[in-house]
Chains A and B, each alone.
Chain A
Amino acid sequence: MEWLITTKASADLGELDSKLAQWDCQRTGTPPVPLGAGEQVIEASGPRDLPEKARGERAILKVSPSSRLTLY
């Protein structure tokens, strides 16, 4: 499943990658997208229960789905 992970802009991406790997999750190749003041969004592929696994992880502010869109 595709996910959008919101972190602090100052988050160490190397540490995040290690943590994601433990959850059988990895970042896709797209660059992080800055969001608001001091946050960024990272695209990743991972298991369906990623939000539960990431809960309590201080570096991760939010896990949102990256759902498939349809052209109208």
Chain B
Amino acid sequence: MAKVDVLVEVERRQRNAFSLHGAAVESASETFRQAESLVEKLAGFGLEVTDEIPPVPMFAERVVLNETSGFALFASAETNADFTAEGIVVAAQVERSRLAELQTQSNVTVWANSLLTLFGGGTCGGGHSIAELEEDLFDLAPSAGGIDCRPFRPAVTRGVIRSLLGVSSVWRDGFRGQNVVVGIIDEGVNGEIYPVVGGFTRPDAPLPGGAPITSHGSMCAADILVAAPAAKLYDYPFLGVPRSGGALAMFQAVLEQRRQDGTPDLTNNSYGFNAQPAQEEAPNHEIWDINHPLHRKVREVIASGAPAFFAAGNCGADCPSNRCHPSGVGPGKSIHASNSLAEVITVAAVNSRHQRIGYSSQGPGGFERQKPDIAAYSHFFGNLGPGRPAGGGENAFDNGTSAAAPVAAGVGALLMSAVPGLTPSKLKQALIEGAINIGPPGWDADTGFGVVNAAATYTLLRQGHV
């Protein structure tokens, strides 16, 4: 009878799984011993283990993806503790006629062990593979701006974004955002995957960290951790429909926490308005009234020493979000309300090629003319995408100025961990001076003073130039 190659996954908690696997790698006899022990109870199926691969430990996703105690720790140069596996995969052969029966066994999953083909010269959508992008980061930047509109350029990995941001120069000195807490005012963050350590609590409100992994706030969390993987997070979820009243209450909660212990150190705000009501009809609207209580509260929080990063908005003229009302689309009409306050850091969106993403809202701002202040990267696999916590294929990626703002906030957190005593105004000035200008010299309405860069900003701060 013909036998087929299979991978048999046996559910089994296995402590010190890496060490055990290492022993099997070292010795073929140990590979057989472990494999046969694992499939002992399946002897009646005529299963023949092979020495093709040593038994491979499999880990629970909740363990793997945990940003503080999971496999992300392996990025450090230090040896990490061993882990406990939830299952082990063994390579084996079995008669095709026994496959169906084998698949019905409890605590066992049978997978195909198929031949692979090596692809040559693979490309990623727009003609450049991720490997090529990583090699030619800045060479790919256009010399005179450029716009990315639908269908958008392919997304890239966090590694590409980290390289573009130049975080390694700060990381090399030992700083990764540790001892800095970022407050995320949004629809809630998933605290099983992301390091939520506090936030807004009230008896009738969900606990901080209780949001699903697919939440908008979880995307913001992932994007803060791009530059500052050791930062902690506070979760300030809008209660029900997001309104300026809810944002006001969350900023008050931020202020109260800061009063108690000086945290959170900064906030991220990836929300705003998508329309501009006529001023004569709504003079007290948040867009027109700079002394609206929400704006006053935002200024209070910044005055307490916590920088506030705000997304510019997704109503740029070239390919605005379909949620934008025509009254709020394009230059001079799409950055307003708190997002345009002089005191906040307003962030536009660019892709990994330093092209402005066509939906990124454009200045001048409603209150402060020179908005956005800076740009940051969007369209990368952060929370969404292959192998990322929220999952999805290559067409699922972190997007919007909602992703760009927390990337910049993560750079802010990284710098605050490295340079004690950074005030909101000093951080903002440093980010502006360290930015890579991609438009006309100085400020422009599309990308502000340029694309945020951690390495340059860090150098300016260390050398006392800001």
**A binding-site residues for B, Cβ under 8 Å:** 2, 4, 6, 28, 30, 33-36, 41, 43, 51, 62-72
B186 interfacial contact with A, CB 8 Å = yes
Asked if B273 and A71 sit within 8 Å, CB to CB, the answer is: no
A-B pairs with beta carbons under 8 Å apart, 28 shown: A4-B245, A4-B294, A6-B293, A30-B245, A30-B249, A35-B297, A36-B296, A62-B293, A63-B284, A64-B244, A64-B289, A64-B292, A65-B244, A65-B285, A66-B243, A67-B243, A68-B243, A69-B243, A69-B246, A69-B272, A70-B273, A70-B274, A72-B312, A72-B313, A72-B400, A72-B401, A72-B402, A72-B405
Interfacial chain A residues near B246, Cβ < 8 Å: 69
Q: Measured between alpha carbons, how far is A68 from B286 in the docked complex, in Å?
A: 10
Contact of B282 among A33, A41, A65 (CB under 8 A): A65
Asked if B248 and A41 sit within 8 Å, CB to CB, the answer is: yes
Asked if B186 and A71 sit within 8 Å, CB to CB, the answer is: yes
Asked if A51 and B293 sit within 8 Å, CB to CB, the answer is: no
Q: How far is the CB of B359 from chain A (nearest CB, A)?
A: 9
Given A33-B297, A35-B293, A51-B284, A69 contacting B247 (CB threshold 8 A)? yes
Q: How far is the CB of A27 from chain B (nearest CB, A)?
A: 11
The 4 closest A-B pairs by CB, nearest first: A66-B245, A72-B402, A69-B242, A72-B311
Asked if B284 and A65 sit within 8 Å, CB to CB, the answer is: yes
**B binding-site residues for A, Cβ under 8 Å:** 186-187, 216, 238-239, 241-249, 252, 270-274, 282, 284-286, 289, 291-294, 296-297, 300, 311-314, 323, 400-402, 405
Q: How far is the CB of A14 from chain B (nearest CB, A)?
A: 21
Residue with the greatest number of chain B CB neighbours at <10 A, chosen from A34, A35, A43, A65: A65
Q: Measured between alpha carbons, how far is A30 from B270 in the docked complex, in Å?
A: 23
Q: How far is the CB of B218 from chain A (nearest CB, A)?
A: 12
Asked if B245 and A71 sit within 8 Å, CB to CB, the answer is: no
